[in-house]
Amino acid sequence: MTRSVLGECAMALVVFAAPAAVLAVASQATAWADSCSDALSSSPLALDDRTCADVLAQERRWLTAITDGDRATVESILAPSFKHIDSGGQLLDRVQEIASVEKVSFTMNTSEQLVDISGDTAVIHGVNTLIDDGKVLARERFTDVFQLQNGRWLALSAQETTL
């Protein structure tokens, strides 16, 4: 999931400037459906399974808070020890992450989310497509790790790789 994307978007605009590339990238975003599984047994779980649905809802809440510039909500989602490696390889701690949040004009659209649940820990692997005014700015594969703490799914870690 992209957290500090403003600097990366300028570079992404250059990469995705050709309309044919935009179409190819956009069509790849729908290639896989989201899925959820029990990590220990590899047994599939329904996407509407309470645990899976709660983790995916927290993921959506996080993305919305980031694009809305809602630092208070982002702060409520991040665990005290949160770490983030952005697609440029920069390591951000919780304080840096929260400080980087500001309202943006683009949306973040997840796809290909594979959620693995292991007790009170959930790992989401997916693709995040950043779209502004109908144009793809960037696509990133992400891994987010959540832990259930006091009844709430908190983000422990995030990492992106530009596609």
**Tens digit of pLDDT for each residue in 130-152?**
999 999 999 999 999 999 999 99
The residue written with tokens 């403003």 in the block is: 6
Helix/strand/coil percent split, the chain, to 5: 30, 40, 25
Query: What's the whole-number average pLDDT of the chain?
Result: 86
What pLDDT sits at residue 25?
38
Residue 4 contacts residue 90 (beta carbons within 8 Å):
yes
Q: What is the pLDDT of residues 100-119, one digit of tens each?
A: 999 999 999 999 999 999 99
Q: What is the pTM of this model?
A: 0.81
Extract the tokens encoding 110.
Answer: 């997840």
What pLDDT sits at residue 21?
36
Domains, the chain, ordered by start: 6-162 (3.10.450.50)
What pLDDT sits at residue 33?
76
Number of H helices, E strands in the chain: 5, 8
Residue 32 — very low, low, confident or very high, per pLDDT cuts 50/70/90?
Answer: low
Q: Residue 63, by phi and psi: left (phi above 0), alpha (psi -120 to 50) or beta?
A: alpha
Name the phi and psi angles at 5, rounded to 5: -100, -10
Q: What is the pLDDT of residues 89-103, one digit of tens each?
A: 999 999 999 999 999
